[in-house]
Amino acid sequence: MTLARGFPPVCRADARVLVLGSLPGAASLARLEYYGHPRNAFWPLMGVLVGASPELPYAERCERLRDARVALWDVCALARRPGSLDAAIEVASVVPNDFRAFFAAHPALRCVFFNGAKAAGLYRRLVLPGLSPEAAALEQRVMPSTSPAHAGRSLEAKQLAWQALVDVT
């Protein structure tokens, strides 16, 4: 099984919030888009919160995130994962993204939002110990996963939780 490779970040230098997933799933990799699975709630939520509606072309959705000072990335630069479930990520295979450089280049960041518990766990295990004290001190919030595999919460409940993103920006 080959390693899955993540995407470059969607961001601009004045981003105030960083949303981190774990690693793009098969549908996202096939489409070359963050949250490319049609049933993933990420873009519908961002449509309500920052105007990045799934009906817009992908490039425009990304631009709306940037305009809202929201950066988007994943914890993993590379990892082995059979299928698309976060639980299937082989932790021993994970190569994390370069967060030291990212945080140095984005000094306005105030908060890291994790799209689900797996992203938070990978970050805390593989990234946090190597960060500068300033970057390690950024506020962290674990949000309900937008994945269709996590259907235990309604879209409305997820929207209520994710509203915090707008409050920080």
The span from the first CA to the last CA of the chain, in angstroms, equals: 40
The whole-number pLDDT of residue 13 equals 96
Compute the average pLDDT of residues 7-30.
94
Is there a catalytic annotation at residue 97?
no
Compute the average pLDDT of residues 26-49.
94
Q: Output the DSSP codes for 26-56.
A: HHHHHHTSTT-STT-SHHHHHHHHHS--TTS
Q: Which of 109, 114, 110 is nearest to 127 (CA)?
A: 114
Residue 133 has pLDDT above 70, yes or no: yes
Which one from 22, 40, 115, 145 is the annotated catalytic residue? 40
Q: Model confidence over 46-99: pLDDT tens digits?
A: 999 999 999 999 999 999 999 999 999 999 999 988 877 777 788 888 999 999
**Domain count along the chain:** 1
Residue 152 has pLDDT above 90, yes or no: no
The whole-number pLDDT of residue 148 equals 77
Compute the average pLDDT of residues 129-149.
92
Domain CATH code at residue 90 = 3.40.470.10
The whole-number pLDDT of residue 57 equals 98
Compute the distance between CA of residue 161 and CA of residue 16 in angstroms, rounded to an integer.
18
The whole-number pLDDT of residue 150 equals 64
Residue-range definition of the domain harbouring residue 94: 4-168
Average pLDDT for the chain: 92
The whole-number pLDDT of residue 42 equals 97
**3-state DSSP assignment of residue 11:** coil
In this structure, which long-range contacts are made by residues 38-45, counting pairs with CB atoms below 8 Å and at least 24 apart in sequence?
A: 39/148, 40/146, 40/147, 40/148, 41/146, 41/147, 41/148, 41/155, 41/158, 42/115, 42/146, 44/155, 45/146, 45/155, 45/158, 45/159, 45/162
% of residues, the chain, pLDDT over 70: 97
Compute the distance between CA of residue 51 and CA of residue 68 in angstroms, rounded to an integer.
9
Q: Which of 161, 4, 169 is nearest to 85 (CA)?
A: 4
